[in-house]
Structures are given as C-alpha cells and as structure tokens.
Amino acid sequence: MELKHVEYFFVLANELNFSQAAKKLHISQPPLSRHIKALEAELGTTLFYRNTQSVRLTKEGELFYEEAKALLSQVKGAVSKLKTIVKSAPTQVQIGFVRPAMLLFLPGLLKTFRQSHPHIQVNITEINYPETTKSMLLNNQLDAAFSHSASLCNDLVYHQVFSEQLKLVMLPNHPLANCQEISLGELKDEQFIFFPRKLSPTLYDLFISACFEQGNFHPNVWMEATPPLARVELVAQGMGVSLAAASLEQMFVGKVVFKNIVSTPWVQFPIDLVWNPHFQHQVIQVFVDFAKKYMANWQAT
C-alpha cells in the first residue's frame, strides 16, 4: 500500500468533495479518482459512496479513516523527529592520521571529500602513537583515524586502506649505501635506532625474529625514539641505522638513503582506517564510506 493513497483518502474523507480535495492536493480530479479506486481495490472494499450530488464515507471508510488518521499522525511525528535529529547532528568530524597518510593520500582524499560534502567540516590531528589513537577513539575524542594499528581492539572497526613498505635508513656514505638490497645478516654490527616495542609489538618482534633467522644475531638497539621523523633525523646525524616508512624518503633527499631489505615480507606496514561504531553518527558514516571508496579507487589507479 502506498502512503500517497492513504494521504489522498484522508484529504478526500475530510473534504467529501473530489474537486476541493484535488485542489488541496494540487492535482486534478482524474488522478485522485484513480488513486482512490486503486486503494479500494487493494483493500477489497468500497470506502466512499459517490454520485453526482455527494460523496460520503461507507462504514468501512469510517473505520479506515480512523486508522489512516493515526497512521499519518505517526508518520508526521516520525518525520518531525528525524528532522530534529538531523538538524542537531554534528556537521563536523575529528580525524586522526599518521604522517605517511598525509604524505601519500590524505590531502587528495580531504580535497575530494570537501568538494562532494561542503557542509561537513573535517578537523585533522596528527597522532603517530597507535595506543593514543585507540584511546582517543574509545573516549570519543576522535571520530575516525588513519593509523598504524599496534594491537586490535574488539570495540573498534579496522579497515586496511594501504600497505606501505618499510625500508632501512642509513647515511649516504655508509659502506652498504650503494647496494640495491641489503640482507639483515649484513647489519649485525650496526647500531639501531628503533621504536619502543609498545608502539607496535608485532612489528618489533617480527624484526627481532628475522634478525635471528636471517643473520643469527640480536640487533643492537642502542636508542629508542618514538616519532618516525626523529629516528630518521638521528640517522642523518650519524647516530645509527633505522627502519622507516618509504613515504618519508622524499623528505630526506640528500641527507639519508632508504634501502630495500632482502626477503622480508613483514616490512609491509599497513595503514588502517579505524573508527568506533558505538559513537557513530551519520556524518561519521558518510566520511567512512567515502574514505573506503576513495582509497579503493586511489590504489586502483
């Protein structure tokens, strides 16, 4: 049953005049008659007695009138409530990001989102610590984030949007700097500047295990530094070697070199779009859906 049929019936039942009802509905009389006949056919009963002089409700029409009145009132209330909710809903989203996301794809994503959703304001915050990102999402301080996920949380949703390669970072005058690829076994005498294990236990442990498996050594991590840029800057000062996302290479041309590591599938470092479904309002869903579609197209080109 179409709601429009019920609305037309209700107006005609109040006016009891096809001409006046049609005028009130901003339609002509023939379409109104067709809608009423269609409703009667669907209900299997006559709702109006009509002749050239008058229109009046049948007993069935009187019963249906009360039901139609209640139904339309309920629909009107639902529409009003929804409009209030939509009007009061947030029109901005808080997005966290890691530096590689900004270097790789985030500016283009935000520009395209702005063009298609100019009414939604996007506020962004750089957060390079996965645990901080997770905490802010759980406490409704962020709506979504592009993050390196240190550990999964059952209360959050993770959608991988990109997988970036990690590379070995060293000085341009390092003895291995001219090699196309470097094996971990060649690094046993190096001093490593690494991130604290708590930032990404999985990646940290994979690196330690790979050093044992490929070079039979435990890496000499003599310094820990949390921000990725800080680690690369320390390498540039001749304080050791490190691992960093390939996207950072463009920022340090001439200061350091980024080299591939032989036979290390674990160096694929995912960037996830993460959000908290428990705090999800319509604007967040709009952004999440857009970001997933954008990233799928971005990687396909």
What's the rounded mean pLDDT across residues 172-180?
95
Average pLDDT over the chain, rounded to whole? Answer: 90
H or E element that contains 5 = helix 3-15
Task: Determine the Cα–Cα distance for residues 57 and 67; give it in Å rounded to an integer.
Answer: 14
Q: Record the pTM.
A: 0.63
pLDDT of residue 158: 92
Fold for the domain defined by 165-269: D-Maltodextrin-Binding Protein; domain 2 (3.40.190)
Domain with CATH 3.40.190.10 in the chain: 92-162+271-300, 165-269
Q: Say if residue 150's pLDDT is above 60.
A: no
- What band does 129 get if pLDDT is binned at 50, 70 and 90? confident
pLDDT of residue 90: 63
Which letter, b or e, does each residue of 166-176 get, where b requires 16 or more Cβ atoms within 10 Å of its Cβ? bbbbbbeebeb
pLDDT of residue 154: 85
The residue count of the chain comes to 301
Beta bridge partners of 124: 95
Q: Which residue has the tokens 């379409």?
A: 31
CA atoms within 13 A on the CB side of 252: 24
pLDDT of residue 151: 63
What's the rounded mean pLDDT across residues 189-217?
88
Question: For the structural domain made of 3-88, what CATH number should be given?
Answer: 1.10.10.10
Compute CA distances 233 → 17, 145, 228, 237, 251, whole Å.
Answer: 84, 26, 9, 6, 10
What's the rounded mean pLDDT across residues 109-131?
91
Q: What is the DSSP letter of 277?
A: G
pLDDT of residue 236: 96
Task: Determine the Cα–Cα distance for residues 5 and 2; give it in Å rounded to an integer.
Answer: 5
- Lookup: tokens for 27: 């339609």
Task: Determine the Cα–Cα distance for residues 201 and 179; give it in Å rounded to an integer.
Answer: 29
- What band does 87 get if pLDDT is binned at 50, 70 and 90? low
Task: Determine the Cα–Cα distance for residues 146 and 270; give it in Å rounded to an integer.
Answer: 10
- What band does 89 get if pLDDT is binned at 50, 70 and 90? low
- What band does 107 get if pLDDT is binned at 50, 70 and 90? very high
Phi, psi of 76 (to 5 degrees): -60, -40
Q: Say if residue 68's pLDDT is above 70.
A: yes
Phi, psi of 105 (to 5 degrees): -140, -20
- What band does 2 get if pLDDT is binned at 50, 70 and 90? confident
**Per-residue pLDDT tens digits for 12-24:** 999 999 999 999 9
Q: Say if residue 46's pLDDT is above 70.
A: yes
Domain with CATH 1.10.10.10 in the chain: 3-88
Q: Which residue has the tokens 């309920």?
A: 74
- Lookup: tokens for 102: 């900004």
What's the rounded mean pLDDT across residues 165-172?
93
**Per-residue pLDDT tens digits for 252-300:** 999 999 999 887 666 777 889 999 998 878 889 999 999 999 999 998 8
- What band does 97 get if pLDDT is binned at 50, 70 and 90? very high
- Lookup: tokens for 58: 């049948």
- What band does 228 get if pLDDT is binned at 50, 70 and 90? confident
What's the rounded mean pLDDT across residues 54-61?
93
Fold for the domain defined by 92-162+271-300: D-Maltodextrin-Binding Protein; domain 2 (3.40.190)
Higher pLDDT residue, 226 or 68? 68
What's the rounded mean pLDDT across residues 202-217?
88
Name the pairing type of β-strands 121-126 and 92-97: parallel
